[in-house]
């Protein structure tokens, strides 16, 4: 699928989230759901346009955060047609003459037009100094002036912290950020500032011009651009891997401007980061026999029930392979017959894999359950292969659309992996 520039926004353009379910899902560059969302009606700046799995996605953050075109105003036909008409209106159609007999008339007309343009330009320049154009101020500019700054780009990191806390309190009043917001109204509060920090099992790094702000071991936020706040995003993070992105411009629309200055003055930044709690490692006896992990109908039913919940969370409907016939993907693969016909590749190497709920075959990956999601568009599918590998539960993901091999990856969705592990054990 070639990207038509007339039908897509340019990098730097602003898009609006359009989602009837109020929150649009966000994805990584390989098309996997991140577990974070963008609210309906919010706006974001396009950083990059890319085709992922035959669908157009827009990167809306300096980090690896993408939104499908179908969840934006650019997914609506009237917006695309308006862009196309605007582009065509700026094109120039050359004049065609039937003969050379009237060339001197054409030249005379050009001279008259040029002279008139020069005179008009001189006249307009003489009046320019008398005209003052007042651009409407953004909410961020209003916030900056309320806080005593001459422009939005003069906002300090303490000012931005006050906006982040106020926005979080408005959207999630009971959160850790909301509690810090209430404390900062009356007394100093400390916020750790760093280039990166590990919230639980999730490493969060700031862009080159940004920073990570840590309120606790569980929660914090990232400012993507401290040098130009008008172009910055706020990314709220926690130890569950959840990320919520909002532009600083949009956050400024929802805050109580009266509270910001005293809160900014009460913020104290520190380099001392919260120390993560260390978990005591206990030795566990493990059996090397693959049959120590068994699969049965009870576990299959538990996994099927969970995949209904998981599908609702991801806004995807998964179909279970029930042990007879074949489960067909939109790209044409037929599971489990494909295990016998096509090589499977993981990290560039061929693996031995087979449908084996009884865990008796001589293969590395014993597939005990299969669930598939066909989006409806040509070839787009997500097929999860729930496996036992080296006596450990592993979830492989197949999104192959063509080629002589099936290329799988170990899923990056930790929630799915953890729940399968609980069921398998």
The rounded distance, in Å, linking the Cα atoms of 22 and 37 is 9
In this prediction, residue 338 carries a pLDDT of 94
Residue 96 belongs to some domain of the structure: no
**335: Cβ–Cβ under 8 A, 6 or more apart, which residues?**
321, 326, 327, 328, 329, 355, 370, 372, 383
pLDDT digits (tens, 9 = 90+) for 348-363: 999 999 999 999 999 9
Lowest mean pLDDT among 9-13, 108-112, 339-343, 370-374: 108-112
pLDDT at residue 105 above 50?
yes
Name the residue with higher pLDDT: 86 or 41: 41
Residue 283 belongs to some domain of the structure: no
pLDDT digits (tens, 9 = 90+) for 204-224: 888 888 899 998 888 888 898
3-state secondary structure at position 341: helix
The rounded distance, in Å, linking the Cα atoms of 122 and 100 is 34
In this prediction, residue 358 carries a pLDDT of 93
In this prediction, residue 357 carries a pLDDT of 94
The rounded distance, in Å, linking the Cα atoms of 383 and 401 is 11
State the average pLDDT over residues 381-410: 92
3-state secondary structure at position 247: strand
Residues 208, 308, single domain; the answer is: no
Residue 347: which region, alpha, beta or left (left: phi > 0; alpha: psi -120 to 50)?
left
- Scanning 42-156, the segments in alpha helix (DSSP H) are 77-89, 103-128, 139-146
Residues 64, 163, single domain; the answer is: no
The rounded mean pLDDT for the chain is 80
How many CB atoms lie under 10 A from the CB of residue 75? 15
Tell me the whole-structure pTM to 2 decimals: 0.39
The rounded distance, in Å, linking the Cα atoms of 377 and 379 is 6
Do residues 183 and 161 lie in contact, with contact meaning Cβ atoms separated by under 8 Å?
Answer: no
Would you place residue 87 in the very low, low, confident or very high pLDDT band (cuts 50, 70, 90)?
low
In this prediction, residue 93 carries a pLDDT of 42
Name the residue with higher pLDDT: 18 or 79: 18
Residue 111 belongs to some domain of the structure: no
pLDDT at residue 283 above 80?
no
In this prediction, residue 216 carries a pLDDT of 86
Residues 318, 419, single domain; the answer is: yes
The rounded distance, in Å, linking the Cα atoms of 394 and 306 is 16
Lowest mean pLDDT among 120-124, 319-323, 417-421: 120-124
Residues 263, 164, single domain; the answer is: yes
Residue 120 belongs to some domain of the structure: no
Q: Which residues pair with 38 in a beta bridge?
A: 24
**54: Cβ–Cβ under 8 A, 6 or more apart, which residues?**
1, 377, 378, 379, 380, 401
Residue that is last in its domain, among 270, 303, 337: 270
Residue 93 belongs to some domain of the structure: no
348: tokens are: 């560039």
In this prediction, residue 288 carries a pLDDT of 39
Residues 235, 266, single domain; the answer is: yes
With CA atoms as reference, report the closest residue to 382 among 311, 313, 325.
Answer: 311
Residues 301, 220, single domain; the answer is: no
When mean pLDDT is compared over 116-130, 145-159, 246-260, the highest value belongs to 145-159
Residue 126 belongs to some domain of the structure: no
In this prediction, residue 9 carries a pLDDT of 86
Residues 41, 163, single domain; the answer is: no
The rounded distance, in Å, linking the Cα atoms of 349 and 410 is 13
The structural domain count of the chain equals 3
In this prediction, residue 111 carries a pLDDT of 61
Residues 300, 378, single domain; the answer is: yes
Residues 195, 301, single domain; the answer is: no
In this prediction, residue 29 carries a pLDDT of 84
Q: Would you state the torsion angle of the CA atoms of residues 108, 111, 113, 114, taken in this order, to the nearest 10 degrees?
A: 170
Residues 318, 222, single domain; the answer is: no
- Containing domain of residue 70, as a range? 5-88
With CA atoms as reference, report the closest residue to 192 among 77, 109, 275, 70.
Answer: 275
329: tokens are: 């993907």
**280: Cβ–Cβ under 8 A, 6 or more apart, which residues?**
none
When mean pLDDT is compared over 31-35, 39-43, 88-92, the highest value belongs to 39-43
Residues 238, 360, single domain; the answer is: no
Residue that is last in its domain, among 45, 68, 88: 88
Q: How is residue 110 annotated by DSSP?
A: H
Instruction: Indicate which CATH number applies to the domain containing 76.
Output: 2.30.30
In this prediction, residue 106 carries a pLDDT of 61
Percent of the chain clearing pLDDT 90 (strictly above): 25
152: tokens are: 């939005």
pLDDT at residue 135 above 50?
no
pLDDT at residue 398 above 90?
yes
End-to-end CA distance of the chain: 43
Residue 346 belongs to some domain of the structure: yes
The rounded distance, in Å, linking the Cα atoms of 377 and 54 is 8
Query: Residue 424 half-sphere exposure, CB side, CA atoms within 13 Å?
Result: 26
162: tokens are: 């006050």
Residue 118 belongs to some domain of the structure: no
In this prediction, residue 97 carries a pLDDT of 39
Do residues 408 and 344 lie in contact, with contact meaning Cβ atoms separated by under 8 Å?
Answer: yes
pLDDT at residue 245 above 90?
no
Residues 79, 178, single domain; the answer is: no
pLDDT at residue 91 above 60?
no
Residue that is last in its domain, among 57, 73, 88: 88
In this prediction, residue 92 carries a pLDDT of 41
């Amino acid at each position: 699928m070639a990207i038509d520039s007339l039908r897509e926004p340019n990098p730097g353009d602003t898009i609006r989230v359009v989602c009837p379910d109020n929150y649009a899902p966000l994805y990584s560059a390989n098309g996997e759901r991140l577990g974070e969302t963008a609210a309906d009606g919010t706006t974001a700046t396009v950083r990059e346009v890319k085709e992922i799995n035959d669908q157009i996605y827009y990167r809306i953050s300096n980090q690896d955060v993408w939104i499908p075109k179908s969840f934006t105003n650019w997914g609506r036909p009237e917006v695309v047609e308006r862009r196309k008409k605007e582009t065509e209106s700026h094109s120039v159609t050359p004049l065609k003459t039937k003969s050379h007999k009237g060339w001197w008339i054409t030249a005379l007309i050009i001279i008259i037009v040029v002279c008139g343009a020069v005179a008009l330009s001189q006249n307009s320049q003489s009046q320019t100094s008398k005209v003052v154009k007042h651009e409407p101020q953004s909410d961020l500019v209003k916030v900056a002036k309320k806080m005593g700054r001459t422009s939005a780009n003069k906002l300090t990191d303490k000012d931005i912290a006050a906006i982040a806390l106020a926005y979080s309190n408005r959207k999630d009043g009971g959160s850790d950020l909301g509690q810090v917001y209430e404390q900062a109204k009356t007394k100093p509060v400390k916020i750790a500032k760093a280039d990166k920090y590990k919230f639980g099992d999730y490493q969060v790094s700031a862009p080159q011009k940004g920073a990570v702000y840590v309120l606790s071991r569980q929660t914090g936020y990232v400012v993507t651009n401290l040098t130009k706040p008008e172009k910055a995003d706020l990314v709220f993070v926690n130890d569950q891997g959840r990320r919520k992105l909002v532009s600083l411009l949009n956050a400024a629309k929802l805050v109580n401007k009266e509270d910001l200055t005293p809160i900014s003055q009460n913020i104290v930044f520190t380099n001392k980061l919260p120390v993560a709690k260390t978990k005591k490692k206990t030795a566990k006896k493990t059996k090397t026999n693959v049959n120590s992990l068994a699969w049965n109908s009870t576990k299959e039913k538990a996994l099927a029930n969970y995949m209904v919940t998981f599908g609702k969370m991801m806004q995807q409907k998964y179909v279970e392979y029930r042990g007879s016939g074949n489960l067909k993907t939109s790209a044409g693969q037929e599971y489990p017959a494909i295990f016998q016909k096509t090589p499977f590749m993981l990290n560039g190497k061929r693996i031995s894999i087979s449908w084996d709920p009884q865990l008796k075959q001589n293969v590395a990956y014993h597939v005990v359950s299969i669930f598939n999601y066909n989006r409806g568009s040509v070839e787009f599918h997500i097929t999860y292969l729930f496996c036992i590998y080296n006596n450990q539960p592993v979830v492989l993901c197949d999104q192959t659309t063509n080629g002589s091999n099936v290329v799988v990856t170990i899923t990056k969705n930790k929630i799915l992996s953890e729940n399968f592990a609980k069921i398998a054990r």
